[in-house]
Structure 1
Amino acid sequence: MSGDMRQGLEQGSDPLGRYYTDPVIGQVFVSLFDCRHASAILDLGSGAGSLTVAAAKRWADARIQTVDVDLSAEKHIRLGMASAGHQAHEHLVADVLDENLPDMVGGPRFDLAVCNPPYTRIRWRVGFARILTESGMDRLHAIPPEALSSDIMFIAQILRLAERGAEIGVIVPDGLVSARRSRAIRQALLERVRVMRVVQLPRGSFRGTEAQAHIIVFENEQGRGEPVDISYLGMDGISSPISISADAAEFRMDYRFYQSVGKITKRGFTLREINAEIKRGSLSSAEARDCNDPVFHTNSFTQPSPFAYRLATERIGVDRPGRRIAEPGDILLARVDRDLQKKICIVTRGWAVLTDCIYRIRVSATWRDAVLRGLLSEEGQAALTRVSRGVGARMLNKEDLLDLRIEAP
């Protein structure tokens, strides 16, 4: 992110799990709406009001309602609104996920809404069932409550407060956009609203976290399987969009994924297609320290050539659940690490017990060289980076690895 974008950031994360919005991100955010004339705008969970102020500057004649549980938020918002020269503003101190919030703000009366929910897990409450039902997100009742993070509950609450046809923009974490576990949530969202565009933000857009985030802009109208435009915010502004089908958007909606997929040649293959066996190592950190046999961990990728890794020369036992062993012919890949895409090798001699931070990939001898060279290629490294996720140490899901398309050498 450019230096200009880093200037003016409000203070970092707080106990409520909020990461405050850079004013420049706020300006980009409001530029994504088609609405030229908004009469009533809602900022749910407004914090200090970066999105509110950005909206006030674009829609100078609109009435703006902010809601936040933080008692100190109103003072900061008032200062920002004064600097924008905007007077038509009301602030409500309340729990934004209160099931009675529509009564507090006068019912569904907003034709535009902005929101940057906190990045946090929330404890399920009885009132959430009412919020999901009245928002038209009934099918989410079938999803385990622990899987419903704050972002999806904020979206459901906004849908209760927005008029039909209202435009809504929400900043969401990467998990909602790309994680396999969130596919049912994406499907429910695409059926309930008309998602118009998704913009992937650069890492570091919010002080206090390197977490990946995206902006989703949608209309409060029933989804009808329309294509979705996805873009990326870079140093030169918002990229040209890639249009993806509703089915593809249900699978995932992150721009970097589709940008990379589009570059892969038709000669590529996936590990699933070649019947690769992928096993996760077995030893925890504590068990690895106490193990008397040679152990292979993420800090073991130290030899100069990934094509000829030599482990302990003596066979150390039989592979079994709870004791995964690497042997000659195995391709090893870090499952958890900040630079996991760089930690790849093939064993040519010896054996070692694997920790649970390592994947062991077994393919037929005819495929080994193609798999290793494909993963080590520039395209393979980019693909591994794209599908792994996490803040700091990154993690690679086994199913994502199996479906990773590898370009044939």
Structure 2
Amino acid sequence: MTIRVSKTSDPLGRYYTHATVAGLLVQMMGKRSPDLALDLGAGDGALVRQASTVWKSTRFITVDIDENAGSVELPASGGDKFKHYVADALSKNLSERLAVNLGCADAALCNPPYIRPLWKKHFGEILEEAGLSHVLPKMSDAPSDLLFIAQNLRFLRSGGHLGLILPDGIIAGERFQSLRETLVRNHKIERVIELPRRIFKGTDAKAHIVILAKDVGGSNHIKIQRVENDGVLSSSIALPSDFAKMRLDYSHYLTAVKCGSDSLTIRSVAVSATRGNCSSAQRRSMSVPVFHTTEFDASGTVPSSFVLKKQDASVATGLVAVPGDILLARVGRNLESKVCIVRSGYVILSDCIFSLRVLPAYREQVFNFLTSQSGREALASASHGVAARFITTEALLNIKMSL
């Protein structure tokens, strides 16, 4: 199987699905034709076009808010098996608009837009009816992908299957731990497949295929896999369902498997992991240099122009790194390659840098690991993000090391 880059995204936050990705998603949902399948936010119609080649007797209903979306042409090109509606997929009265009762669809496919819509009161009702109103501290912070998951669950019958393409934050981000825990508890996540970075043109973010069965008793394990850069689907890992709350991405657990069960986490040897707090505006006004992500070089040490004497570094009101601290980029493309150590002096840090302080007995081992190929892979798999990639403190501390 070969994966090609998709079309570019559009102003509505959509990243169009390449036919090969759509084919893999449909394949994982099974060959048996559901009676009725929905695609809310259908875009160019790639998902249902592919599904219709496998599910020969299925009726498809597609919805998109854009009257110029490619899915508008589906009834003309695909015949009576397609019905398309120009409508807001997150409308409160969508069921009436489609003349389809909630809880009656046999299957749903969805590649949600990656935006945060302006909050509307009825969004809370959608989340509540889907059992997802509690998964964020504030419902009004719900991104569109969460709202689309909820809307699809409302339309699905018990036992119906939902095939999704979701961003890495939903799959691995700490913010969505409660969502993952709720989905595993109330439904059955059958499979999660990690897609290669840059699969969608215009973003470096990872995305994942998720196959879920509504209201089906969960199993003890979730099958997770990855599409490699050459397009080959990896062997699977049977992930214990209890791990889903932490994260569901294949790369993270593959790194853990490679390190072995007797490996240490960074947390187990860390004294502290602290984020710098000198903003870009403050950097420009400082009388002394501030170390930022653009200043890493291949030497593995801090460039001498950023190494200060103690009295010079005292002008900083925030974090100052000291000898022995390991510095890592917190955000940015290729953050996994930006690691260095403070060998002498003091270094003022921007808010895009982590200072990792570990027990002296493990300092060189940790630094050598983080600058090795295995360490770079671990940092890359721990990072996520739709636009600029980033790594959180928790994700950094949870990295397993093969020392």
Q: Which TM-score applies when normalising by structure 2? A: 0.91
Q: Distance in 1 between matches of 2:57 and 2:327?
A: 60
Match of 1:221?
215
Root mean square deviation of aligned Cα: 2.4
How far apart are residue 69 of structure 1 and its match?
1.1
Question: In the alignment, does 2:184 pair up with 1:185?
Answer: no
Letter in 2 for 1:291: M
How far apart are residue 146 of structure 1 and its match?
4.1
Letter in 1 for 2:361: T
Match of 2:168?
174
| Cα gap change, 1:16 to 1:320, in 2 (>3 Å) | same
Q: Distance in 2 between matches of 1:42 and 1:146?
A: 26
Q: Distance in 1 between matches of 2:126 and 2:36?
A: 21
Match of 1:5?
4
After superposition, residues 88-167 of structure 1 pair within 5 angstroms as 88-105=81-98, 106-108=100-102, 109-140=104-135, 143-167=137-161
1:203 to 180, 197, 200: 197
CA contact (8 A) 1:121 1:150 kept: yes
| Cα gap change, 1:329 to 1:52, in 2 (>3 Å) | same
After superposition, residues 60-75 of structure 1 pair within 5 angstroms as 60-73=56-69
After superposition, residues 2-401 of structure 1 pair within 5 angstroms as 2=2, 5-6=4-5, 9-10=6-7, 12-73=8-69, 76-77=70-71, 79=73, 85-105=78-98, 106-108=100-102, 109-140=104-135, 143-234=137-228, 235-302=230-297, 305-306=299-300, 310=304, 312=307, 314-316=309-311, 322-391=317-386, 393-401=388-396
- 1:257-314, Cα deviation, whole Å (9 max, x unpaired): 1111110034422232124212222211221122112422223323x53268655463
Letter in 1 for 2:47: L
Q: Distance in 1 between matches of 2:386 and 2:62?
A: 30
How far apart are residue 393 of structure 1 and its match?
4.0
How far apart are residue 100 of structure 1 and its match?
1.6
Q: Distance in 1 between matches of 2:222 and 2:93?
A: 33
Q: Distance in 2 between matches of 1:238 and 1:353?
A: 44
CA contact (8 A) 1:309 1:346 kept: no
Number of residue equivalences: 399
Could you list the structure 1 runs, at least 4 aligned residues long, displaced by more than 6 angstroms after superposition: 318-321
How far apart are residue 317 of structure 1 and its match?
5.2
Q: Distance in 2 between matches of 1:312 and 1:388?
A: 28
CA contact (8 A) 2:65 2:86 kept: yes
Unaligned 5+ runs, structure 1: none
Letter in 2 for 1:52: V
| Cα gap change, 1:207 to 1:338, in 2 (>3 Å) | closer
CA contact (8 A) 2:41 2:64 kept: yes
How far apart are residue 97 of structure 1 and its match?
0.8
| Cα gap change, 1:277 to 1:91, in 2 (>3 Å) | same
Letter in 1 for 2:325: D
Identity within the alignment, %: 36
How far apart are residue 86 of structure 1 and its match?
4.4
| Cα gap change, 1:15 to 1:300, in 2 (>3 Å) | closer
CA contact (8 A) 2:31 2:54 kept: no
CA contact (8 A) 1:191 1:222 kept: no
Letter in 2 for 1:5: R
How far apart are residue 340 of structure 1 and its match?
2.0
| Cα gap change, 1:276 to 1:86, in 2 (>3 Å) | farther
| Cα gap change, 1:157 to 1:268, in 2 (>3 Å) | same
- 1:155-205, Cα deviation, whole Å (9 max, x unpaired): 111121112211110111110000011101111121222111111111222
SS in 1 for 2:32: coil
- 1:130-168, Cα deviation, whole Å (9 max, x unpaired): 21232233544x631244211121111112111221111
